[in-house]
């Protein structure tokens, strides 16, 4: 076994893979949020942006394959680490309540699994048009995929927007813990900066969550309309 293989199969190596892939995912989440917020600029702004992305063609596929790879690494490392932890602590009952941990940190596996389900549902909805197929085929006056109307029609239905809102809140909790534990995982522990990071991470996670929540909430409140 090479030194590199034994590093990535060790617990610290898996944590490292989870942290680094997590940063990639946060990068996507922030970029996706900025793109989605164009909905507040109206139909033209969002549809032109979506068309611009699709026109990237091969480059878009390179980005998608990169995103899928880091997603698989993140989920794979999380599953492997959970197995390692269980093997090291077969009596999970004894360990309960012994470590000072927030609700978010104790439920990373649960919120992570739910986010995975959310992403699958989200792709079935907005990317593949399996959910609400009638709104996926809408075309705007310029002959472009009408992403604006698809999103507004989607979130106008409370059976769609309420599960979205719930998932986005869980994503916020997951991000909040993930961003503060990132530096700890990489062994960064500083008397001044660590407390600042621990305070800043939830603020950034909250800003991302509020940004995403603003979209379904604005549709429900008719601030964004067709």
What does the binding site for ligand HEM look like in residue numbers (CB under 6 A)? 29, 32, 36, 50, 64, 115, 119, 122-123, 126-127, 147, 151, 171, 212, 215-216
* Helix H or strand E segment including 50: helix 43-54
Closest CA to 126 of 167, 154, 161: 154
> Least CB distance from residue 122 to ligand HEM, whole Å?
5
Residue 143 CB-density burial (10 A; 0-12 exposed, 13-18 middle, 19+ buried): exposed
Cβ pair 131, 139 in contact under 8 A: no
Output 91 or 134, the one with its CB closest to ligand HEM. Answer: 134
Output 7 or 126, the one with its CB closest to ligand HEM. Answer: 126
> Least CB distance from residue 36 to ligand HEM, whole Å?
5
Closest CA to 21 of 80, 82, 75: 75
Distances (CA, A) of 78 to 10, 108, 150, 181: 13, 9, 34, 14
> Least CB distance from residue 87 to ligand HEM, whole Å?
30
How far is it, in rounded angstroms, from Cα 138 to Cα 47? Answer: 11
Output 166 or 193, the one with its CB closest to ligand HEM. Answer: 166
> Least CB distance from residue 153 to ligand HEM, whole Å?
11
> Least CB distance from residue 96 to ligand HEM, whole Å?
29
Output 101 or 119, the one with its CB closest to ligand HEM. Answer: 119
Output 42 or 195, the one with its CB closest to ligand HEM. Answer: 42
């Amino acid at each position: 076994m090479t030194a590199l293989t034994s590093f990535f199969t060790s617990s610290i190596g898996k944590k490292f893979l989870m942290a680094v892939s997590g940063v990639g995912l946060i990068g996507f989440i922030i970029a996706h949020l900025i793109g989605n917020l164009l909905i507040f600029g109206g139909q033209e702004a969002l549809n032109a942006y979506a068309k611009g992305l699709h026109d990237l063609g091969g480059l878009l596929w390179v980005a998608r394959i990169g995103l899928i790879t880091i997603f698989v690494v993140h989920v794979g490392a999380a599953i492997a680490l959970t197995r390692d932890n269980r093997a090291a602590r077969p009596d999970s009952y004894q360990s309960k309540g012994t470590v000072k941990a927030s609700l978010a940190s104790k439920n990373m596996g649960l919120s992570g699994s739910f986010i995975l389900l959310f992403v699958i549902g989200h792709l079935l909805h907005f990317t593949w048009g399996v959910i609400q197929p009638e709104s996926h085929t809408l075309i705007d006056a310029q002959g472009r995929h009408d992403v604006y109307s698809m999103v507004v029609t989607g979130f106008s239905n409370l059976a769609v927007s309420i599960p979205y809102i719930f998932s986005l809140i869980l994503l916020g909790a997951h991000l909040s813990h993930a961003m503060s534990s990132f530096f700890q995982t990489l062994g960064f522990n500083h008397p001044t900066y660590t407390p600042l990071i621990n305070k800043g991470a939830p603020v950034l996670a909250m800003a991302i969550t509020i940004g995403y929540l603003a979209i379904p909430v604005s549709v429900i409140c008719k601030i964004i309309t067709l």
